[in-house]
Amino acid sequence: MIGAAVFAALFALAFLAFAFVDHRKLWWHFQASRFENPEAHEPSAASFMWRRLALVGVAAFLAWQTVGMLRLAGVFGSGPDHDEILKRVESVAEELDTGEAGRYKFPGLEDEGSWGPFINPRLQGPGEDPIAMLASKSGDVERYDVDGVCLIVTAKPLPGQSKQAYAMDNLMYSLKTEVTDRACE
């Protein structure tokens, strides 16, 4: 990603530099010899101005793309600090904890965990968003690592559900959450 950003930055500089050369001299040097009467075919001053504006616009766009690529590559550290991440994870834990109510899980998400699709959208906030990665799964307990904060989700099927719900794995779960201020083991 950094290589692409450098490549785009070089092109931005080239377009910007080309915007400030004398376009009239370039036209006379490279194009005028093709015409019998070059004065009659010389572009107007407005044409040269629009070319310069277009070159500056392309240079600005490429510079903007360069900054975006560098941000994606992590050159600019704009993420939340550890205390902010801890607050976000604690907020998600409170929201995810069901108490007496139940919640359906997302089946078939071995890599993300059953509750990852609930957790990650709720971690969003200002700045770069942290991502909950499934650290371990054993039975009804899933541990999610969120940039050095561990979110433990314990899911128990609610009692009184039908045999059909058990057969289809379409169960409602009671969730208990716990947050620890260290990475998951």
Domain containing residue 150: 82-180
Tell whether 103 and 158 lie within a shared domain.
Answer: yes
* Domain membership flag for residue 89: yes
Tell whether 64 and 92 lie within a shared domain.
Answer: no
Residue that wins the pLDDT comparison between 121 and 79: 121
What is the pLDDT confidence band of residue 54, given thresholds at 50, 70 and 90? very high
Tell whether 107 and 52 lie within a shared domain.
Answer: no
Tell whether 149 and 89 lie within a shared domain.
Answer: yes
- Rounded CA-CA distance 45/24 in Å is 9
Tell whether 99 and 150 lie within a shared domain.
Answer: yes
Burial annotation 150-168 (CB, 10 A radius, 16+ → b, else e) = bbbbebeeeeeeeeeeeee
112: pLDDT strictly greater than 90: no
Span 134-139, mean pLDDT?
Answer: 85
Tell whether 44 and 122 lie within a shared domain.
Answer: no
Tell whether 96 and 122 lie within a shared domain.
Answer: yes
* Domain membership flag for residue 185: no
Residue that wins the pLDDT comparison between 138 and 7: 7
- Rounded CA-CA distance 6/181 in Å is 38
Tell whether 68 and 86 lie within a shared domain.
Answer: no
For residue 168, give the 3-state DSSP assignment: helix
Last residue within a domain, chosen from 72, 91, 115: 72
What is the pLDDT confidence band of residue 77, given thresholds at 50, 70 and 90? low
Last residue within a domain, chosen from 49, 72, 95: 72
- Rounded CA-CA distance 143/133 in Å is 8
Last residue within a domain, chosen from 22, 40, 72: 72
* Domain membership flag for residue 173: yes
- Rounded CA-CA distance 163/169 in Å is 10
Tell whether 176 and 108 lie within a shared domain.
Answer: yes
37: pLDDT strictly greater than 80: yes
* Domain membership flag for residue 63: yes
pLDDT one-digit tens code per residue, 142-172: 899 988 899 998 888 888 877 777 677 777 7
Cα separations (Å) of 66 from 28, 103, 129, 148? Answer: 34, 43, 21, 30
